Amino acid sequence: MGVSPTLADILAARAVLRGRADATPLVPSPYMSMRSGQDFLLKLELAQPIGAFKLRGALNAVMSLPDGVAGVTCCSTGNHGRGVAYAAALRGMRAVVCMSRLVPQAKVDGIRALGAECQIGGGSQDEAQIEARRLVEAEGLVEIPPFDDPRVIAGQGTIGLELLEARPDLETLLVPLSGGGLAAGVALAAKAIKPGIRVVGISMDRGAAMRASLAAGRPVEVEEVESLADSLGGGIGLDNRLTFTLCRDLLDEVVLVTEEEIRDAMQALYFEDCLVAEGASVVGLAAILSGKLALTGPAATIITGRNLDMDRFTRIVTGQDVTLGDRLLKGKPHGT
């Protein structure tokens, strides 16, 4: 379980996912191409059955379990829980998803709708992780980690295969960065196929656990705060076995974007590309639109999810103020 995945594992995961969680669209963004000066493509993981890329890793992990297990559990900021719930339902397994109080209610409701039980408590993903481990010990459930697991990383890595098979000329991949399962998997696959490709991890500038850990040279804890990119919240685990090392070795750089820049990118994706997506989905756009990242050739980013609070989304795209915990994010209409 602590062995780092390889390209062979990612290829094997593709066979597991075929027809269930693969082949999402890759579409051009004329607006982002104009703003960046290069071909800019969007990998639409929001087209997954659960609305997010997390289904890939969760399904690959759950499908690998033997028959007769008591069930599965996980901690989640929302989308991984949906993936585990969906995969468990396919196998007729019990699923218990542990989440902190920071997870938006819309995501909790979506997980319950898939048939999973939800345990809500604590103020951080680390506390939710403690509850998941208690369930493993007390009830014999099998934990499906949200990112630090070779089967999960391999599942997410199938996105990297699909990107380069569709566009071998891609020079840069902009990948949302949280616990590192997506970034590690995509970078592992992409660099195995095209060693010179540039892979950039992007996160919000408050509570970015992987960025803080990479800067410290070891996994560290960070304070979790409410963010438009809530799916990128949570720690990487002080006992992180895989994703810290993979991100350290494979990511070319990490860029942080502000809440204001995430808001502007959500508006741009909605008004210019007519897509409704989570704040975590647009951090790649935010890095370009803010001028924090420049491109020299074709690039792609991953639009990772559409599981969001539509009332808040409506406020964001119509330029209204939004409250993020103890902070007021002032509204700003698109284009002003």
Model pLDDT for residues 135-154, shown as the tens digit of each residue:
999 999 999 999 999 999 99
Q: Are 58 and 80 in contact (CB under 8 A)?
A: yes
pLDDT in tens, the chain (336 residues): 468 999 999 999 999 999 999 999 999 999 999 999 999 999 999 999 999 999 999 999 999 999 999 999 999 888 999 999 999 999 999 999 999 988 888 889 999 999 999 999 888 877 888 999 999 999 999 999 999 999 999 999 999 999 999 999 999 999 999 999 999 999 999 999 999 999 999 999 999 999 999 999 999 999 888 999 988 988 899 999 999 999 999 999 999 999 999 999 999 999 999 999 999 999 999 999 999 999 999 999 999 999 888 999 999 999 999 999 889 999 999 988
Residues 243-289: tens digit of each pLDDT = 999 999 999 999 999 999 999 999 999 999 999 999 999 999 999 99
Say what the pLDDT of residue 224 is.
Answer: 86
- Name the token pair of 301: 């980013």
Say what the pLDDT of residue 307 is.
Answer: 87
Q: At what angle do helices 209-216 and 243-250 cross, to 10 degrees?
A: 70
Say what the pLDDT of residue 121 is.
Answer: 86
- Name the token pair of 151: 């089967």
For the whole model, what pTM was predicted?
A: 0.95
Say what the pLDDT of residue 103 is.
Answer: 86
Reference 180, options 206, 229, 213; nearest CA is 213
- The distance from CA 6 to its chain's CA centroid, rounded to whole angstroms, is 20
Domain residue ranges in the chain: 7-51+149-329, 54-143
Same fold, 7-51+149-329 and 54-143: yes
Reference 257, options 297, 287, 235; nearest CA is 287
Question: First vs last Cα of the chain: how many Å apart?
Answer: 50
Say what the pLDDT of residue 42 is.
Answer: 98
The DSSP result for 220-269, as a single string, is --------TTGGG-S---TT--SHHHHHHHH-SEEEEE-HHHHHHHHHHH
Say what the pLDDT of residue 2 is.
Answer: 65
CATH number of 7-51+149-329: 3.40.50.1100
DSSP 25: -
Q: Enumerate the β-bridge partners of residue 302.
A: 43
Q: Spelled out in words, what is the top-level CATH class assigned to the domain 54-143? A: alpha beta
Q: Are 21 and 171 in contact (CB under 8 A)?
A: no
